[in-house]
Amino acid sequence: MRVAIVSDIHGNRHAFEAVLDAIEASECHEMWCLGDLVGYGAEPDACVELARRYAAICLAGNHDLGVRGALPLEEFSRGAALAARWTQNTITSETRSYLDKLEPEHQGEDVGLFHASPRDPVWEYVLSPLQAELCLDAQTHRVCLIGHSHVALSFSRSDGQSASGQTRAPGEEVDLAGGEWLINPGSVGQPRDGDPRAAWLELDLDSWQAVYRRTDYDIAGAAAAIRAARLPDSLAERLAYGQ
């Protein structure tokens, strides 16, 4: 089965719709989301509705948990907390009900799914080989999918070797047939790896092959929605820079 993996939508409807169109044109059979449907962007209801309609599996990210009151907003950055409070006052009861049902991890598939990491599904940013080593020690699946860092990357470990990792470019193919792996598809709604295009991943669970994807979207439209909502202007500005 070929699955599309998305993460960190962050209320960016323009990016999410563009990625869903790309998934529809691909050979993927399902779409799985690693969390943070809401967050920095200005269209949380639309993004949650799209996930409700199209995601076969959807996790809760830390921003989803913050908006529903499961995490104190004092633990978030100033911009994230302002956006979360705005989202709390904006979303419909249907959106809130959907978010309330989500969990930050899912281990019922051939791969482990975590919003952040196998060690800490909510908060850990896995950005170094040392962190990856500790996560690989903790995980029960050979291959795990993680989000949260907004960077398209992978870490792997072979028998007798230490973990190593690297960022991944659009179109790059990765053979997951051997070794242990942590795979991050990058962010749909707010990439932070210098490429402003929406990031996602195609994963073939039969051949154990993964392909990193990037999709163009209407960045100006997403930024305009943020400004219209009177959210911090920095949340709009950063979209064009992939930061």
Query: Tell me, what DSSP letter sits at residue 240?
Result: G
Mean pLDDT of 106-113: 96
Q: What percent of the chain has pLDDT over 70?
A: 100
Q: pLDDT tens digits, residue range 15-37?
A: 999 999 999 999 999 999 999 99
Average pLDDT score, the chain:
97
Mean pLDDT of 121-128: 98
Mean pLDDT of 117-141: 97
Structure-token pair, residue 73: 């907003």
- Listed residue (160, 206, 164) closest to 182, CA to CA: 164
pLDDT at 204: 98
DSSP sequence for 16-80 = HHHHHHHHHHSS-SEEEE-S--SSSSS-HHHHHHHHHHHEEEE---HHHHHHTTSS-GGGS-HHH
Q: What is the reported pTM?
A: 0.97
Q: pLDDT tens digits, residue range 134-180?
A: 999 999 999 999 999 999 999 999 988 999 999 999 999 999 999 99
- Listed residue (218, 150, 237, 233) closest to 13, CA to CA: 218
How far apart are the C-alpha atoms of 124 and 115, rounded to whole Å? 9
Note whether 197 and 191 are within 8 A (CB): yes
Q: Measured between alpha carbons, how far is residue 190 from residues 2, 122, 231 in Å?
A: 25, 18, 15
The amino acid at residue 87 is T
Q: pLDDT tens digits, residue range 194-223?
A: 999 999 999 999 999 999 999 999 999 999
Residue with tokens 């929406």: 198
By residue count, the chain amounts to 243
Set out the domains of the chain in order of their start, with CATH numbers.
2-241 (3.60.21.10)
- Listed residue (147, 126, 107, 10) closest to 66, CA to CA: 10
> How many whole angstroms from its chain centre is CA 122?
12
Q: What percent of the chain has pLDDT over 90?
A: 99
Q: What angle in degrees, to the nearest 10, is found between the helix axes of 44-54 and 93-100?
A: 50
Q: pLDDT tens digits, residue range 33-83?
A: 999 999 999 999 999 999 999 999 999 999 999 999 999 999 999 999 999
**SS3 state at 128:** coil
Structure-token pair, residue 52: 């409700």
> How many whole angstroms from its chain centre is CA 139?
19
